[in-house]
Copies of this chain bind each other. A is one copy, B any other.
């Protein structure tokens, strides 16, 4: 069994084992008929008592996900497609339960009240760089003008002026070939992925995802009933030859692979487009973090290289402006426009007219381009400082993955490295927060290391944070068993 189980500090051990196995069944990593490892074997591997594993298995059996066969171990039963019935049968009287798939999907709690002095967590820009004064002026104007409207005046594809402004903006900045009619404005990139999923994914459709990759899109498509196929990422980006024959859709981050940060090579881009043409496949291009470039000339996006109309291009203004603004878009071929717009209308009708009008102005007045130039200078300086700091203080354990854009840097572990969960825990007690690369893996993680964001930290704090991180590495190396870095072996951190 190739299932990666990792035990953390939160929650009971039985609960953690149960949840991760359950998620593996729903993901399709554990298929119907697969045998679970003997309780004794898994207990040894995870360094827990055999009873802890046995209780997790019993719960899986009680949930109808696994079955014990006398004298022959425990096997996964066919739990798909998830049905309301199955959930209801096991529900306590009076309680309404969601579909089984939602039991494996937890809400990411908000960060409220958790100020971290040295915050390297990826995923957020520095909101102090946002031009609040200009934005408030534009919003005040937009509220005045867009106010006396009927809901039915608002187009589900978005504000006319904003659709045109976005088409011009990505045409100039990213060489995307498009016009206003191709643009559907969304409530952030996440809603763009959602609308795409709803119009393209039937239960069982196979979606190829980068491994490691962006968990929120994986969970989203899984919640829509898709089957996910993990495709590895190497120095050139997604390994196109490893896309399984059953895949219909590929989700990819070519400008700045999440989380590794690599740029997909031109050769690979061509190979991926050839795959789509040959197979009649669809490519979802998440042009994640492409705005903040500090090295080299950007490669053209897949969308502009595509001759067959098989690429859906997704962008977002959440990182460029403020995450709280929730403004993104998808640029899609005409053949998908009616369905995407209908899906938007059925999901939530349309976006906020005032915020959309304000953003259109912001782009048209040249403020967006100016803002991007300004913040890119800031982030480039932080990138240089973080990479130099890793080289100077952490090169014994980490090696920077080269990157040319974005708000974070990935650093893979090298040689003998201490248990990274232990490092992160020790860093946390010293006021330093960072993410672990293996947490973005779908299958057995090939890449482990750290992901260090610099949207929430700047200047001298970067050096001090990295120095504290080095202290955590040293302490963890002394106290925890040193492990060899191995390729395809299951990693079990914690205990």
Flag whether A345 is at the interface (Cβ < 8 A): yes
A151 touches B102 (CB 8 A): no
Flag whether A428 is at the interface (Cβ < 8 A): no
A123 to chain B: which residues have CB within 8 Å?
151-152
Contact with B along A203-244 (1 / 0, CB 8 A): 111000000000010011001010000000000000000000
Given A96-B310, A106-B342, A347-B194, decide whether A202 and B82 contact each other with a Cβ distance below 8 A.
yes
User: How far does the alpha carbon of A214 sit from the alpha carbon of B272 in the complex, in Å?
Assistant: 43
B346 touches A216 (CB 8 A): yes
Task: Please give the number of chain A residues whose Cβ is less than 8 angstroms from any Cβ of chain B in the complex.
Answer: 100
User: How far does the alpha carbon of A124 sit from the alpha carbon of B194 in the complex, in Å?
Assistant: 28
Contact partner of A348 (CB less than 8 A), chosen from B188, B219, B280, B456, is B188
A245 to chain B: which residues have CB within 8 Å?
none
Contact with B along A78-93 (1 / 0, CB 8 A): 0001111100100101
Which residues between 310 and 366 of chain A lie within 8 Å of chain B, taking CB atoms?
310, 312, 318, 322-326, 333, 335-336, 338-343, 345-355
Flag whether A111 is at the interface (Cβ < 8 A): yes
Copy number in this complex?
2
B94 touches A310 (CB 8 A): yes
B342 touches A149 (CB 8 A): no
A346 touches B105 (CB 8 A): yes
B124 touches A341 (CB 8 A): no
Taking CB as reference atom, which chain B residue is nearest A111? B152
Flag whether A143 is at the interface (Cβ < 8 A): yes
Taking CB as reference atom, which chain B residue is nearest A309? B94
Given A96-B336, A309-B95, decide whether A203 and B203 contact each other with a Cβ distance below 8 A.
yes
Flag whether A72 is at the interface (Cβ < 8 A): no
Which residues between 101 and 140 of chain A lie within 8 Å of chain B, taking CB atoms?
102-103, 105-108, 110-112, 123-124, 127-128, 130, 132, 136, 139-140
B149 touches A324 (CB 8 A): yes
User: How far does the alpha carbon of A124 sit from the alpha carbon of B151 in the complex, in Å?
Assistant: 7
Given A102-B342, A341-B107, decide whether A349 and B153 contact each other with a Cβ distance below 8 A.
no
User: How far does the alpha carbon of A326 sit from the alpha carbon of B146 in the complex, in Å?
Assistant: 14
A369 to chain B: which residues have CB within 8 Å?
none
Which residues between 165 and 201 of chain A lie within 8 Å of chain B, taking CB atoms?
186-188, 190-191, 194, 198-201
A164 to chain B, nearest CB (A): 15
Given A105-B346, A248-B84, A310-B94, decide whether A99 and B200 contact each other with a Cβ distance below 8 A.
yes
Q: A-side interface residues toward B, CB under 8 Å?
A: 81-85, 88, 91, 93-99, 102-103, 105-108, 110-112, 123-124, 127-128, 130, 132, 136, 139-140, 143-144, 146-156, 186-188, 190-191, 194, 198-205, 216, 219-220, 223, 225, 248-249, 277, 280, 282, 308-310, 312, 318, 322-326, 333, 335-336, 338-343, 345-355, 456
19 contacts between A and B (CB under 8 A): A84-B205, A88-B248, A94-B309, A96-B310, A96-B312, A98-B200, A99-B339, A108-B345, A112-B155, A124-B150, A136-B144, A140-B140, A147-B322, A187-B349, A194-B347, A198-B223, A220-B346, A220-B347, A223-B343
